[in-house]
Homo-oligomer: A and B are copies of this chain.
Amino acid sequence: MKLEKVSQPKGTRDFGPKVMAQRNWILTIIKQKFQKFGFDELQTPALENLSVLLGKYGEEGDKLVFKILNSGRYLKKGEAGEVTKEILDQGETKLTPLISEKGLRYDLTVPFARFIAKNHREISFPFKRFQIQPVWRADRPQKGRFREFFQCDADTVGSYSPYADAEMIVLAHEIMEALGISEFSFHLNHRKILNGICSEFCPEVAQERVLACLDKKEKIGNEKVLGLLKELEVSDRGLDGFKKLLEMEAGGISIIEKIEELANGSQLAKLGLSETREIFKSVQDLDLPNFSLKFTPSLARGLDYYTGSIFEIVVPGSEVGSLCGGGRYDDLTGIFGVEGIPGVGISFGLDRIFELLKSKGSFPDAMSEDSRFLVCHVDENCMPESWKLLGELRKADCQGSIFPETGKLKKQIQYADKNGFRYIIVVGPEEIKNQLYKIKDLRTGEQESISMKKIIQTLMRID
């Protein structure tokens, strides 16, 4: 057997039973909280037309979209006509659109925008949806970066209200609490503030390039960010202002005044500050336990489409990066020709949350399937009675299994042990005669011989 023949593709993973149970524990919490907060589930296909996907993620993103080869005689059909030697000579850029019309979902936002643009006449806004699905990126695989990974998104679209922004923050806080993550920092900023400051400090430089530099603060430090800004030909006065911005510590809403001063009367920044204040106040009004929201003026977030609040959760001292992030966008569906639908969204990274909980060793014990039993038979003749006992236990809704092979009792017990069964129930000639079965708790080592009815009570009590 060649090993490569049984490997999954680079950057993708198989998830066996134990990891699945842990991932599902996280996903169930996120999903329940999404539903509790009034978000409804949506699923979109893994495949999208490339006309939908391309041009939305920047040039680099377009390259990372997995493209599906057209079916059948793809060289000769299609509106574009036959693929010729001349086209081949012009390379992939020319050839790809002729032989590929579909790609794999790259994130959940663009398919969601496509869904809204398609169905906006039937939807009554505000529309609150969540979506938990895998996405695919042809990125170079490396530690913690995969080609297939899950995103968990919640969005409220069709509302300009700062309460919708505040709700995302409350939701994220509640999810962190439920996951047992308490040592996180919640950073909030506002793109209008940043944009106002940029107009003030460097009106001549494209703002998204400035924001891309600020976004690197955590990774490369203030000095290097300022170096990058200098490369963009930001003036000395501007650099001086950005230096102050970068050095401003995350804090309560009180630092708003400092920002106001820094922004030097920019109307846009003022608007952003006022919205930020409202969001802050709405969150504080709820008196959430163990929660401090940090106003972090240098937070920039990577994505281009944010236009209002931006926020993220990081765990200080952890290497996994932000656990969730999001923000407000003014125009979700404009790229699909439907204007004027604003919204605010948040996205949780399953893999990062998983890595964090794993590194802390903090998946709860209750996750192991506590009351699972394995019915074992002393010899082959006891198999029919073992099978019937299993049937009765299942009728009572107990969760368990049988060792279907003929095999020594010792082997069966080893199997139970190895596969995480909590109990074994032994069926032998004596047991069948007396209708009392030996049940052993593999965790405590305790065992007793009891009736089927009592076994059911034992198994169900724990559930």
Please give the residue numbers on chain A whose beta carbons come within 8 Å of chain B beta carbons, in ascending order: 1-2, 4-9, 12-17, 20-21, 24, 35-38, 40-49, 51-52, 63-64, 66-69, 71-75, 83, 85, 88, 91-92, 95-96, 99-102, 104, 114-115, 117-119, 124, 126, 128-129, 134, 136, 138, 147-148, 156, 159-161, 163-164, 166-167, 170, 174, 282, 285-286, 336-338, 369, 372, 374, 383-384, 387-388, 391, 394, 397-406, 414-415, 418-419
Contacts and interface: CB of A to CB of B under 8 A. Distances in A.
Nearest to A31: B24
A296 B170 CA distance: 58
5 closest residue pairs by CB, A with B: A38-B401, A1-B337, A17-B40, A12-B45, A161-B404
Given A1-B338, A14-B119, 18 more contacts: A5-B51, A6-B117, A8-B49, A8-B114, A9-B48, A14-B118, A15-B44, A17-B40, A21-B41, A47-B147, A47-B148, A66-B68, A66-B69, A88-B88, A126-B403, A166-B387, A167-B402, A286-B391
Contact of A14 (B14, B44, B160, B418): B44
B14 A45 contact: yes
Given A71-B63, A337-B1, A388-B285, A8 B44 contact: yes
A154 to B, nearest CB: 12
A280 B114 CA distance: 52
Contact of A401 (B63, B128, B402): B128
A166 B73 CA distance: 45
Contacts of A136: 46-47
Contacts of A128: 401
A12 B118 CA distance: 15
A71 B405 contact: no
B96 A285 contact: no
Main secondary structure of the interface of A (DSSP, over half): mixed
A8 B24 CA distance: 28
Copies of this polypeptide in the complex: 2
B336 A404 contact: no
Contacts of A9: 45, 47-49, 101-102
Nearest to A335: B5
Given A14-B115, A92-B74, A136-B46, A337 B5 contact: yes
A206 to B, nearest CB: 27
A69 B394 contact: no
A72 B406 CA distance: 54
A337 B2 contact: yes
Contacts of A338: 1
A444 to B, nearest CB: 21
Contact of A384 (B20, B285, B397): B285
B5 A38 contact: no
B52 A75 contact: no
Contact of A52 (B5, B51, B63): B5
A283 to B, nearest CB: 10
Contacts of A14: 42-45, 115, 118-119
A298 to B, nearest CB: 29
6 contacts: A1-B117, A2-B337, A8-B114, A36-B399, A66-B69, A75-B88
Contacts of A119: 14, 16
A393 to B, nearest CB: 10
Contact of A418 (B124, B163, B164, B384): B124
A6 B114 contact: yes
A92 B12 CA distance: 27
B67 A68 contact: yes
